[in-house]
Amino acid sequence: MQRKITQLKQMIADSDNIVFFGGAGVSTESGIPDFRSVDGLYHLKYDYPPETILSHSFFIRYTEQFYEFYRDKMIYEEAKPNITHIKLAELERQKKIRAVVTQNIDGLHQKAGSKNVLELHGSVLRNYCMNCQKHYTIDKIKEGKPIPICECGGLIKPDVVLYEEGLDDSVVSKAIKAISKADILIVGGTSLSVYPAASLIRYYTGNKMILINKSVTSYDSQSDLLIQGGLGEVFANL
Ligand code: ZN
């Protein structure tokens, strides 16, 4: 593994056009669990699997239950950026990383200092009224129990892409543009099983795709450098 990290270090040193594509594994070391991998736990407390609760139709039909789960399992305000977030922000300041494309909704890349962050699934930090579009901070979600309501009487929704909802076109096109023009694509902390987000890496046309993940992914054979390990361990050594 050390040999591969040295190789990655050299590749990064030689490039000024790197794109990072990340998933839940980026934030697990900040104490934010991947709700997909701990599915079973929720069945003890909730009547539905998280994929059902976090769907658009459930949000509309059972708004109160949605927010109960959401406040309990999706908001981690005390979480701090870890070494991976910090190093990625550092590489952006050094004009090496052009964009961070993330499937996470926790805002930790921005907290670490990254500027060009493309949030495919939105952010828990942004919320808006479905009626008048007024924006609200996360405090409104936490305090507006049981259901956060706008001053106009409209329902407030997190700016998070729920199941059954499409991705934001402008974010997707920016991500495609960055990935397709990238010299190096580093894919980390994602099982590449969540579509359509995962399909975006197909737009990469170069020959320096680095895959860093603890478990096996369906893209392993297509990577140019495969590092099977934790992101923190790799980034701490860069
Ligand atoms: Zn409103």
Question: Which residue stretches of 34-190 are H helix?
Answer: 39-43, 50-53, 56-61, 63-73, 83-93, 108-112, 138-143, 169-181
State in Å: Cα 96 to ligand 1 middle.
41
As a whole number, mean pLDDT of residues 200-208 equals: 96
State in Å: Cα 181 to ligand 1 middle.
40
Question: Taking 80 as the threshold, does the pLDDT of residue 45 lie above it?
Answer: no
- The whole-angstrom separation of Cα 108 and Cα 139 is 17
Contact present, 164 and 57 (Cβ < 8 Å): yes
- Positions marked active-site: 121
Contact present, 102 and 89 (Cβ < 8 Å): no
State in Å: Cα 134 to ligand 1 middle.
5
User: Which among 235, 152, 153 has a CA at the least distance from the CA of 186?
Assistant: 235
Q: Quick one: pLDDT at residue 41?
A: 54
Q: pLDDT confidence of 169, banded at 50, 70, 90? A: very high
Cα–chain center distance at 208? 22
Contact present, 12 and 214 (Cβ < 8 Å): no
Per-residue pLDDT tens for 51-80?
Answer: 899 999 999 999 999 999 999 989 998 999
What are the φ/ψ torsions at residue 185 (nearest 5 degrees)? -115, 120
State in Å: Cα 149 to ligand 1 middle.
8
Q: Quick one: pLDDT at residue 43?
A: 59
State in Å: Cα 158 to ligand 1 middle.
13
State in Å: Cα 155 to ligand 1 middle.
7
State in Å: Cα 136 to ligand 1 middle.
10
As a whole number, mean pLDDT of residues 101-111 equals: 97
Question: Taking 70 as the threshold, does the pLDDT of residue 91 lie above it?
Answer: yes
Calculate the alpha carbon distances from 193 to 121, 152, 168, 201 in Å. Answer: 14, 39, 19, 12
As a whole number, mean pLDDT of residues 151-179 equals: 97
In sequence order, the β-bridge partners of residue 21 are 101, 187
Half-sphere exposure of 50 (CA within 13 A, CB side): 17
Q: Quick one: pLDDT at residue 44?
A: 62
Per-residue pLDDT tens for 121-148?
Answer: 999 999 999 999 999 999 999 999 999 9
Per-residue pLDDT tens for 183-193?
Answer: 999 999 998 88
- The whole-angstrom separation of Cα 16 and Cα 92 is 9
State in Å: Cα 128 to ligand 1 middle.
8
- The whole-angstrom separation of Cα 9 and Cα 212 is 13
